Structures are given as C-alpha cells and as structure tokens.
Amino acid sequence: MRLNVLKETTTRVPVTSLRKLFEVVVRNEAAASWRAQVNVVFITDHRMRRLNREYRGKDKPTDVLSFNIDDPESSSAIFGEVYISVHTAVRQANELGHSLSEEFMRLACHGFMHLFGYDHQADREAEKMEALERTYLTRAMGK
C-alpha cells in the first residue's frame, strides 16, 4: 500500500513520520495482497465543516474524517482518504500541550484505524482502538 500526503494549506506536515506510521499500521492491519493507495489530506476548518455537514449531518468542523473508497487489492485504487483539519489540529495541540506534528500523527493514526475497520461507538471498541493507536504511534515515533 502507498500513502499520498496532500495539502490544501501551507502548514508544514511531518511527511516522513506520517509515512512511517502508515507503514506500521499497514504491516499490522492490511492483508499482504492489498496494493491500493491511501490519501491523507490536510484541509481548512471551512472545508472540514462542509464535509462534516455533507457526510455526517453535523454543521461544524471536526478534527479528522475517514472515508473508505475502493477495493484494497488494486494498485490503481484509492482504498480510502483521511481528512485532517489543520485549524482544529492547531487548537487541539495547544489544548493538549504537545506539538502540532504530534497532533497530526495522532489524528492520522485515528483516521487510518477507521479505514481498517475500527470504530469507537461502544466502550469496548473504543478501548481496543485507542490501545492500538497508542501502540502504533509508539512504534512509529520511537517513544
């Protein structure tokens, strides 16, 4: 599988770290036959609000949205897209007291987990998803 990092803002993003994180997640979550691509798109709050309203019926920006698109076995396919709001990530990084790069990594990991079928609607699902996110982030960031 291949990761494409796209930006609709001028904010710097940790592309090398995002690719490493994606490799960790794919190594643990994807079937060996999967060849599709995943796009991570860094967008504004304005665009995120439109997406959130259109796809989730919520008229406000959110931090990350994930969409599964195509069959993962085709190398020309887009398996999914993860949208990250740069503006919301900046606010959250400040609130949580860590760097913007760390927040981008956290949000990307969360989005990847959704693409690979994880959810957090029920407590048990949320606990499993959060534990895996922590594990993958630790492996990718070397902490």
**What tokens does 30 get?**
């994807």
Give the Å distances, CA to CA, from 58 to 48, 54, 83: 10, 8, 16
The values of phi and psi at residue 130, to 5°, are -65, -40
Say how many domains are in the chain: 1
Give the model confidence (pLDDT) of 23-40 as tens digits. 999 999 999 999 999 999
* The pLDDT of residue 26: 96
**Which of these, 38, 31, 116, lies nearest to 82 by C-alpha position?**
38
Give the model confidence (pLDDT) of 98-141 as tens digits. 999 999 999 999 999 999 999 888 889 989 999 999 999 999 98
> Domain residues for 132?
2-141
**In the predicted structure, residue 143 carries a pLDDT above the cut 80:** no
* The pLDDT of residue 75: 87
Q: Are 120 and 129 in contact (CB under 8 A)?
A: yes
**In the predicted structure, residue 68 carries a pLDDT above the cut 90:** yes
Give the model confidence (pLDDT) of 82-93 as tens digits. 999 999 999 999
Q: What pTM did the predictor assign?
A: 0.95
CATH code for the domain of 17: 3.40.390.30
* The pLDDT of residue 142: 78
